[in-house]
């Protein structure tokens, strides 16, 4: 049984691909919003497909023009029975013009919303390792209902610290890339009850399909690579990952 805990099915023709995805062994998919429109679409898809669930939220690089009142709509969308997570939310310092204060403000406001709704969060974190860790550590109570570091890309040393805070770490196609040394090292040391698989469809396609559009149908490639670098039996690992996702998202 395979699970994709972070994909943007709102950006593909799911009706055309659902057969191939299910044939690959996918049992659960979490389609993730990054702004109001994609969050609405995530809920629509989750309510249409039995094996699809939704996460709703405002992603840090999509905050231009966003106001606090937009969180009223996020809360409304989160009331759907198929919405199991607030996300993706977080911080991203990759671009020089980043408004770090606004990102942190909306990250924590959405974390507070998730806590009020008793939902876990899916965290986007890029080029902000130290600040992200300190922000989560200082606000640990806001993540009481669980959190996953989506597409984990920081160091193995920091991975251990995030796990100590009770967080899950998700790995996708990047774990198959030759230059992804930190990602592989992190995947090797994460406890088996804290690891998740994702694709970030349609992005970050795994080898040997890199350069093509990604799909949840490629989760078996991610799982096989994780099992190989961890020295574990793939079926046992994927069964545990499925249980990890069930525990976090309560689906």
Query: All domains of the chain, ordered by start, with CATH?
Result: 2-249 (3.20.20.140)
* Residue 97, pLDDT score: 85
Helix (H) or strand (E) holding 123: strand 121-126
Q: What is the pLDDT of residue 65?
A: 93
Closest CA to 110 of 162, 44, 66, 154: 66
* Distance from C-alpha of 156 to C-alpha of 181, rounded to nearest angstrom: 10
Residues in the chain with pLDDT < 70? none
* Sheet hosting strand 147-149, strand order edge to edge: 2-7, 26-32, 52-56, 83-92, 121-126, 147-149, 168-171, 195-197
- What pTM does this model have? 0.97
> What does the pLDDT look like over 182-236, one tens digit per residue?
999 999 999 999 999 999 999 999 999 999 999 999 999 999 999 999 999 999 9
Q: What is the pLDDT of residue 53?
A: 98
pLDDT tens-digit readout, 151-168: 999 999 999 999 999 999
In angstroms, rounded to a whole number, what is the distance separating the alpha carbons of residues 92 and 94? 6
Nearest to 194 by CA among 229, 219, 164: 164
């Amino acid at each position: 049984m395979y699970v994709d805990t972070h994909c943007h099915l709102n950006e593909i023709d799911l009706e055309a691909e659902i057969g191939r995805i299910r044939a690959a062994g996918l049992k659960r998919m979490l389609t993730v919003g990054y702004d109001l429109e994609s969050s609405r679409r995530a809920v629509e898809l989750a309510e249409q497909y039995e094996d699809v669930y939704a996460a709703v939220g405002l992603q840090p690089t999509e905050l231009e023009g966003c106001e606090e009142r937009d969180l009223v709509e996020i809360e409304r969308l989160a009331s759907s029975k198929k919405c199991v997570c607030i996300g993706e939310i977080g911080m991203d310092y990759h671009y020089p013009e980043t408004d770090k204060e606004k990102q942190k403000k909306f990250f924590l406001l959405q974390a507070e919303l998730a806590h009020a709704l008793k939902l876990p969060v899916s965290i986007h974190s890029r080029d902000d390792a130290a600040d992200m860790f300190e922000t989560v550590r200082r606000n640990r109570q806001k993540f009481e209902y669980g959190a996953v570091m989506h597409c984990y890309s920081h160091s193995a040393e920091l991975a251990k610290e995030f796990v100590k805070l009770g967080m899950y770490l998700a790995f996708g196609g990047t774990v198959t890339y030759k230059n992804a040394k930190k990602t592989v090292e992190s995947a090797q040391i994460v406890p088996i009850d804290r690891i998740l698989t994702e694709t970030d469809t349609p992005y970050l396609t795994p080898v040997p399909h890199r350069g093509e559009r990604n799909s949840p149908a490629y989760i078996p490639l991610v799982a096989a690579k994780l099992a190989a670098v961890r020295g574990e039996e793939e079926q046992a690992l994927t069964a545990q990952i499925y249980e990890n996702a069930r525990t976090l998202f309560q689906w």
